[in-house]
Amino acid sequence: MTTESEKLTLLALKQGDERVFESVFKQFYEPLCIHARRYVIDPDQAEEVVQDMFFKMWDRRDALSINTSLPAYLYKAVTNHALNFIKYQKQARQYQDYIGFRVDENVAPSAHDTLVHSDLELQFKGLVKELPEKRRLIFEMNRFEGMKYNEIATKLNISSKTVEIQISKALEFLRSKLKDYLPLMWFTLFLFLE
């Protein structure tokens, strides 16, 4: 249950109050990084998980809906992001094994590889933003936050079938727009368009 103070904090966050967001970030960043390390061993990756969670929270602040306490929400969100991170790492390894490609972590990527990857990432992010608002929200909740169809349906008060249809349409759109990248299909793209 949220306290009166937390309700005011949430209202300020929804209204885009950067000072309140910074205060929440400073208060919870270190404890959330420690929490993320329960799932993600590497400290840098744990920090990345927490930073990503805060970025998405700020990016979607106007749709922020917290029914528990703020700390409970933040810890749950970091847990979801960490589990999502682990899932995608595992899928990336499986895909690399499938295509007979494994990145040597001791070898820096070539300038060409970095450029292609950056271009692909920019294209992907731009296309996700082009999705109709509700479809984009559903897609991001599923692919970036690791929420299951029924969880999204409950949160948005829609049917699981509607969630499934919206994600299917989003994937169809992204595949059609990124078809030029298919010969270069990096595992990152595979993770989101499978």
Please give the backbone phi and psi of residue 44, each rounded to the nearest 5 degrees, phi first. Answer: -65, -40
The CATH number of residue 12's host domain is 1.10.1740.10
Do 182 and 150 share a structural domain?
Answer: yes
Out of 48, 77, 102, a domain closes at: 102
Question: Closest Cα partner for 161 from 171, 170, 152?
Answer: 152
pLDDT tens digits, 104-139: 454 445 554 555 556 666 777 788 889 999 999 998
Residue 70: CA atoms inside 13 Å, Cβ hemisphere, count? 20
Question: Closest Cα partner for 156 from 136, 128, 130?
Answer: 136
Range of the domain at 58: 1-102
Contact 20, 63 (CB under 8 A): no
* End-to-end Cα separation, the chain, in angstroms: 37
* pTM attached to this predicted model: 0.51
Please state the separation of Cα 16 from the chain's center in Å.
Answer: 20
pLDDT tens digits, 140-187: 888 777 788 888 999 999 998 999 899 889 888 887 877 665 544 444
